[in-house]
């Protein structure tokens, strides 16, 4: 909730004031069965001191965004994060959203002002993008939506008024199957 004077703990009763706090609240962990577990000096784990996680992507996290404008310039959406807004006319996310994962959602918000495109989905992921407006973004390719190898499912979205320097002002897909 960008209207909060002080940031909260992320709960519904005491929400974060800044979306960056929610996206930065993860820890590095090793997946169960990782060859890095116990492979360090004296049997320590290599690369992550926070123990192991349940799976390669960890648990899903849903962040609900209250009405307002959020600074999300070049946020990397990681670890199964879904962003659910209060409505695309009420929630404005300014900046490029990178890395929406399969099984996750982007819903009920407007993505605008991105300088590397609006929404970028890369890899073999199939996230859902529902009731979103993607408008007023610029990028090299795919000013609004860029898909490389991904198959996002779009429902009730508007992609308009975006600009690409090379190709795909609205949508650019390479080896992708958006629905």
Q: Which residues pair with 31 in a beta bridge?
A: 53
More confident residue, 152 or 58: 152
Least-confidence region, from 38-42, 76-80, 88-92, 124-128: 76-80
Q: Cite the beta strand spans of the chain per DSSP E.
A: 30-31, 52-53, 61-65, 68-71, 75-76, 81-85, 91-94, 97-98, 105-107, 110-112, 119-122, 128-130, 133-135, 138-141, 145-148, 153-155, 158-160, 163-167, 171-174
> For position 25, what pLDDT does the model report?
47
DSSP annotation string for 40-59: SGGGPPSS-SS-EESSTT--
- Distance of alpha carbon 44 from the chain centroid: 32
Strand order in the sheet with 105-107: 61-65, 81-85, 105-107, 128-130, 153-155
Mean pLDDT, residues 28-32 taken together:
63
Q: Which two tokens stand for residue 53?
A: 């996680």
- Rounded to whole angstroms, the Cα distance separating 140 from 162 reads 11
Which of the two residues, 132 and 79, has the higher pLDDT score?
Answer: 132
* % of the chain with per-residue pLDDT over 90: 38
Q: Does residue 54 surpass a pLDDT of 80?
A: no
**Are the beta carbons of 80 and 104 closer than 8 angstroms?**
yes
Task: Determine contact, residues 106/129, Cβ cutoff 8 Å.
Answer: yes
Q: What pLDDT, in 10s, does the model give residues 86-118?
A: 999 999 999 999 888 788 899 999 999 999 999
pLDDT, residue 20, reads 61
Please tell me the pTM assigned to this model: 0.75
Highest mean pLDDT among 97-101, 158-162, 173-177: 158-162
Decide if 64 contacts 87 (C-beta within 8 A): no
Provide the terminal-to-terminal Cα distance of the chain, rounded to the nearest Å: 31
């Amino acid at each position: 909730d960008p209207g909060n004077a002080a940031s909260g703990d992320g709960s519904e009763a005491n929400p974060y004031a800044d979306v960056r706090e929610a996206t930065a609240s993860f820890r590095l962990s090793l997946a169960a069965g990782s060859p890095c577990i116990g492979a360090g000096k004296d049997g320590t784990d290599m690369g992550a001191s926070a123990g192991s996680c349940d799976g390669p992507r960890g648990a899903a996290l849903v962040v609900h965004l209250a009405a307002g404008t959020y600074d999300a310039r070049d946020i990397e959406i990681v670890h199964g994060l879904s962003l659910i807004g209060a409505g695309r006319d009420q929630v404005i996310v300014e900046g490029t959203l990178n890395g929406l994962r399969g099984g996750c959602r982007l819903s009920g918000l407007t993505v605008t002002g991105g300088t590397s495109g609006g929404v970028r989905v890369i890899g073999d992921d199939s996230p859902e993008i529902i009731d979103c407006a993607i408008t007023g973004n610029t990028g090299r390719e795919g000013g609004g939506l860029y898909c490389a190898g991904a198959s996002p499912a779009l429902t009730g979205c508007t992609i308009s008024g975006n600009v690409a320097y090379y190709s795909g002002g609205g949508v650019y897909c390479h080896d992708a199957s958006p629905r």
